[in-house]
A and B are shown apart, each in its own frame.
Chain A
Amino acid sequence: MQDTFEMREIYCQSLIEAAKTNKNIVVVEADLMNCIKTGPFKKEFPDRFFNVGIAEANMVGISAGLATCGKIPFCSSFGTFATRRCFDQVFISVAYSKQNVKIVGTDPGICAEINGGTHMPLEDMGIMRGIPQMLCVEPTDSVMLKALMPQIIDYKGATYIRLQRKKAETVYSEGEKFDLFKAKKIASGKDATIIASGIMVSKAVEAREELKNQGYDVGILNVFTWKPIDEQAIIECANESGAIVVAENHNVHNGLYSAVSEVIVANKPVPMESVAVMDEFGEVGKMPYLSKKFHLTKEDIVEKTLKAIKRK
């Protein structure tokens, strides 16, 4: 079922709500205000909104400078341009300088749809995860985003937020609580655990149902914060189920599968399988086509889970 709210609505509303009492919150855009829809923030706080035009490096540098003066800048672009386009500025001016800048990359992976391969960030989390001490988070739906925004604002440090702009598939009900640094267990299972993030969480829920019908007891862990990763929760899943499938809307390299593997290899080696984009570039298309093309469907999760169970 689709969410009632678009993720970007919740993002902007959360910023406005917080900015009413926190005068340090500022928004810096690079000509995508009308895509992420931060216009209402600009209307409410015109002195704390800047649009630098199509210049992501400058956007990030200005945000770093604002942060040195105690501001909490939120700057955004499509995930491709918020990360790889201005990687060195994020690395040096923000992260290495230890500045409290929040970078929002929208339209993760195949969500870029008909903007196509040039706009399809399948590597963004991998890029940001490689920067020391960068917090990397991918909120699942509007309920989670609403709960996490105040925590993200309170967190002091460089942060990358991988954000769907439009309506996500609903996973959580209003009132659900989240800790930015703790993975969220959706179900326990003794045969395998699906570790998922972003658009893959709702597909994992569907895959679990199908596997249940086939007689398997499969758990789900939503690892929405990729870094710092909740090692304890992952190790518990490995102990409990003895097999792990990682499902992500990202390239298989440097993404969630890599991050989870780092934990598993060092702590509790168990069979692992990956549902991810297998080292390919994106292309134009709608979600159903792209999901099939890149093997990111519920069926792919089911198939990989059965494979992992067989390897136990």
Chain B
Amino acid sequence: MLENFSFRTIAEYLPLFGQGLVTTVWLSALSFIGALVVGIVLCAANLQRAWMFRAPAKAYIDAVRATPLLAQLYFLYFGLPRLGFVLPELVVGILALSLNSGAYVAEIIRAGILSIPRGQVEASVASGMTYAQRMRLVILPQAFKVTIPPLLGQAIVLVKDSALLSLISVAELTRAGQLLASDRFMPAEGFITIAAFYLLLYYGLKGLAVLSSRWLGTAGARI
């Protein structure tokens, strides 16, 4: 039973949890930046008319979306050394998260760009803008507003997904919980504590998402 739930042990392991939390935060942040880069490139390729750009991007997005992150993670973890890239687990993990989330980010950005009414594009064509001007001055500023809230949603997913990196022994938050659970045979203390930490991150990001959609929503509604 849980009556001998030991807060003292949790306090003893607090530095470990702290380190894990910090690692989870920065590796998620780094992966999110990676995902943005991957997503923007994929989305740019996906919006091209030329088949040779569009098809690979589409295939990549579908492949990522139809397979679990864990399988993708193992694919890189066991596969990269085979190709001669022996990377630390942490790097493999960040790579996997970036490549995985990138596919979802690409779809979010694409939805944002496609949400711009057709008339806007036609008006900018009629004003004699080039493709680059149209994108930069008309479409992207409006698409930006629409994409921020779902991008924050993706960030939440990414933080939660980063827990899987504990399975390739990256020393992040979930790993800290596993260590406490296995060292002291205290799974309750270990896993409830990390669940609380994840909730903290979740509510932080969710608050940010709500704030941003309120802030952008009022500004963005009047097109």
Whether chains A and B associate is no
A residues adjacent to B (C-beta < 8 A): none
B residues adjacent to A (C-beta < 8 A): none
